[in-house]
Structure 1
């Protein structure tokens, strides 16, 4: 009888022990813990308990490394609350399963097969044998960039703005961690608008954002290939080339479009415009910091920013979006179809059909999520289409940029953005597989028939 009951449960209930579902549950667990900590009286400057929605929104935004806020970070949250946010950002950036795998590696000096598979789900490594190296690389790359950028910021805050050493250290570490993890949380009410023309602040933060957005597998391969005696993998080549092209396009288009806008770049000198334009072009990749008022940008600039946010950064990175590899692979698929080629070839390699289907699935599910989220915001709030779409893409792509309307969406709008941030962080395919009751394998094929396309 017990055996029959167990078989029935396996038949009709989802197996939450599968790696993809463990990732979802882990993120939910950390968000729940973060929400509880932020609801403690000690977490606010007023000493009163934060309301549930504000705490949940902030915790989700931190764990999902987004940066959207419904309350002002430096004025609403105490030092304890800010440290909780910083810890959640670091945990979300590294990946819950990556941290668990690191702890297991340190304690037992080895990784079990199940733990390796779980880590592979989070880090999205290509080969199971590379998981251990990637996990070590996650920690080393993260610490290296965060310490280096924090050092620059600490010195600048101390020498350029007269901060006390302890204050400079706190601000430097906080912004370094949130920058590398593409979170976008800042310790100033106007985010980083007070440093718009300061290259010693903006450039290191932008570099940290770009570094975190490339992805841990790419950095591990860069390190392994530092002597130039190894062949680059297709993933690394696509990520580096596409990221560079999108960076040039983003910086160039946004800088030119806003050059004479007196509400954004137009109020600065030539040097300040270049610094602020570079910063504005990097942030959609997907950090969420802003040194100019996004709400005052031209409509064309907002459209370009939407596109860059939706594409996002590299796979297995701290960035969000559909990822540059997904975007590039779909572009190659379209190119091959236009040319009438029976298969897709990318940089000297043939692209598997399964990979093409995966890229298409990620892109279409993401479009569906953005459309649904935008419709919900338009229904629940009085936002215009332009601002609702921008807010939705920013949340889903875990960017954190806003035109200043996040607080105007109300509790129901906040819940919509929370769902979008969570979905964007764990990924459409991961979430879908976690919610699916079971996997099905097709044991036969039906007769082929070709419908009319277009």
Structure 2
């Protein structure tokens, strides 16, 4: 065996960097992904702090620059500054580039950077990209690769990520460009705003490039429908887009993950529309003055955007308390796995309901669409929900202590930060620097994913070679 001391050393800084990255990826792909994500936040914080990034050529305070960087990379949409007036052309370009980078996903992004450095997509890089589409690969034991993307298809998945993002944003840009021209914007400005809005819709960010946000387009249902289309496709997840693009003629052959995502997403959209109609139809500040058709459309828009889209045609603080709570629930659930949306993900909710149904019907196993779901997936789903709920609870307590704001407003903005939704009651812009840092950390925790963070902290799993005596505690 060769002595490591006499092993050939890298002949250039590039080779040394490549070998260092390869070594880190071998030890812990998830840690490498979080390291990449953290580095991106730091780089964008520095860039947003530069005078060239602001309209008045002043230095943005650290807490505002950091919060904006985290919100952009985490594709959240919350802001402590006026995004339409504070940033220069350079700053706005940073926003658009940042949300597209963040929308790709933590692990997929790390895989792409690994490809650039190592000049190949090896097994480790494939595992990293695949774990963004099927987090159960970080656990020991057999995994049904058909639930998401097979390892051999990861290269195609990465191509699909880039192509789908470009095509969908291009289509949304083409749809809304004439509508922005119609409100009197010059051609160049209309094109820029179209690109900006399409990027924010597909990445589920919700930033707006013009003063007043969506106010000029509140009654333009073509414009709002285009935004909903982009946000909906972005929230489905790249594995679902890949599966549909590859086999749209054979829905029966879609994987369980695709079927669960589509079914739960549609069910939540319909439930959201029904809740907003029932809770807001008589609210004069929101939908009370609208006719039946307008109320249904605006409720649909709210239902789509609360899943992580971040756009709103109404003042969120004008919603009834019951509607705020309903929105909290929709935001906390979020969108599909490996998507630009945040939250605990729709498949997590589906697994919990399937487990409850199996328990109520006396079945020992979870089943859906003719497939059996193993018990370790339920444990993973419970862990995700508990970690998310703990993050929201701790952040809410800290914000309540810092701001003394009403609980319902604090809870709303905290869940919006954790779920990277971007809707706000107006509280975020009024927080002191300490509260801004808390919300920034909440966004970061919500975006990097509970599964990724748990894998990074664990680094490796130990196998227990013995079993202790069984005893059943009383539950309920």
TM-score category (smaller protein): over 0.9
The 8 Å contact of residues 106 and 448 in structure 2, kept in 1 or not, is answered as no
* Number of the residue aligned with 1:6: none
Measured after TM superposition, the shift of residue 96 of structure 1 is 4.9
Report the equivalent of 1:424: 446
Separation (CA, whole Å) in 2 of partners of 1:256 and 1:164: 41
The CA distance in 2 between the partners of 1:350 and 1:344, in whole Å, is 6
Deviation at 1:188, TM superposition (A): 2.7
1:209 is the counterpart of 2:258: no
1:183 maps to what in 2? 205
Q: Return the alpha-carbon distance in structure 2 between the equivalents of residues 73 and 295 of structure 1.
A: 19
1:240 aligns with 2:262: yes
Partner of 2:7: none
2:125 alignment partner, one of 115, 118, 125: 115
The question of 1:139 aligning with 2:149 is answered no
Partner of 2:180: 157
Distance 1:260 1:82, change over 3 A: same
Equivalent residue for 1:401? 423
Cα shift at 1:206:
0.8
**Cα offset, 1:102, TM superposition:** 4.7
Moved more, 81-90 or 100-109: 100-109
Mapped partners of 1:289, 1:229: distance in 2: 31
Moved more, 109-118 or 14-23: 14-23
Residue 200 of structure 1 pairs with residue 210 of structure 2:
no
- 1:337 pairs with 342, 359, 369, which one? 359
Contact 1:196 1:275 in 2 (8 A): no
Q: Aligned equivalents of 2:114 and 2:30: distance in 1?
A: 19
TM-superposed deviation, 1:109: 8.3
Trace 1:15-34 onto structure 2 (pairs within 5 A). 17-34=27-44
- SS of residue paired to 1:24: helix
Using the alignment, how far apart are the partners of 1:44 and 1:97 within structure 2?
Answer: 31
Superposed displacement of residue 100, structure 1: 5.4
Q: Counterpart in 2 of 1:435?
A: 457
Quickly say closer, same or farther: Cα 1:281–1:229, change in 2 above 3 A: closer
Alpha-carbon RMSD across the aligned residues, in angstroms, is 2.2
Kept in 2, the 8 Å contact 1:215–1:314? The answer is yes
Q: 1:229: how far off?
A: 7.6
Give the structure 2 partner of residue 317 of structure 1: 339
State the shift of 1:128 in Å.
1.6
| SS at structure 2 position matched to 1:75 | coil
Cα separation, 2, equivalents of 1:431 and 1:229: 33
1:385 offset after TM fit, Å?
1.1
State the Cα deviation string for residues 284-311 of structure 1 (Å, max 9, x = none).
1111111101000011111111110011
- In the alignment, which residue of structure 2 is the partner of 1:346? 368
Residues 106 and 185 of structure 1, relative CA distance in 2, 3 Å threshold: same
CA distance in structure 1 between the partners assigned to 2:113 and 2:252 by the alignment: 30
Q: Equivalent residue for 1:42?
A: 52
Work out whether residues 309 and 393 of structure 1, in 8 Å CA contact, stay in contact via their aligned partners in 2: yes
Please, which of 64, 83, 97 is the counterpart of residue 54 of structure 1?
64
Which moved further from structure 2: 413-422 or 95-104?
Answer: 95-104
Where do 5+ consecutive residues of structure 1 fail to align? 4-13
In structure 1, the partner of 2:246 is 224
Contact 2:115/2:121 (CA < 8 Å) preserved in 1?
Answer: yes
The equivalent residue for 1:95 is 105
Select between 286-295 and 194-203 the one with higher mean Cα deviation: 194-203
Asked if the contact 1:157–1:168 (Cα under 8 Å) also holds between the matched residues in 2, the reply is yes
Report the Cα distance in structure 1 between the residues aligned to 2:100 and 2:466, rounded to whole angstroms. Answer: 46
Out of 257-266 and 305-314, give the one that drifted further.
Answer: 257-266
Decide whether the 8 Å contact of 1:276 with 1:292 is kept in 2: no
Q: 1:432 to 1:108 in 2, by over 3 A?
A: closer
Check the 8 A contact 1:19/1:121 in 2, yes or no. Answer: no
The runs of at least 4 consecutive aligned structure 1 residues that moved more than 6 Å come to 103-109
**Partner Cα distance (2:374, 2:214) in 1:** 44
Q: Give the secondary structure class of the aligned counterpart of 2:432.
A: helix
Q: 1:275 aligns with which of 274, 289, 297?
A: 297
Choose 161-170 or 101-110, whichever is displaced more.
101-110
Instruction: Provide closer, same or farther for how the CA distance between residues 321 and 437 of structure 1 changes in structure 2, counting only shifts above 3 A.
Output: same
Q: Which moved more, 1:315-324 or 1:336-345?
A: 336-345
Q: Distance in 2 between matches of 1:107 and 1:199?
A: 45
1:70: which partner in 2? 80
Aligned length: 443
- Relative to the length of structure 2, the TM-score reads 0.88
Q: Identify the residue that residue 127 of structure 1 maps to in structure 2.
A: 150
Superposed CA deviations along residues 166-202 of structure 1, whole A, max 9, x for unmatched, are: 1111000000011000011111333213321210211
Q: CA deviation at 1:15?
A: 8.6
Which of 233, 246, 253 is equivalent to 2:275? 253
Tell me the equivalent position of 1:387.
Answer: 409
Cα separation, 1, equivalents of 2:251 and 2:425 = 47
Residues 315-339 of structure 1: CA deviation (Å, up to 9, x unaligned) = 1110000000000010000111122
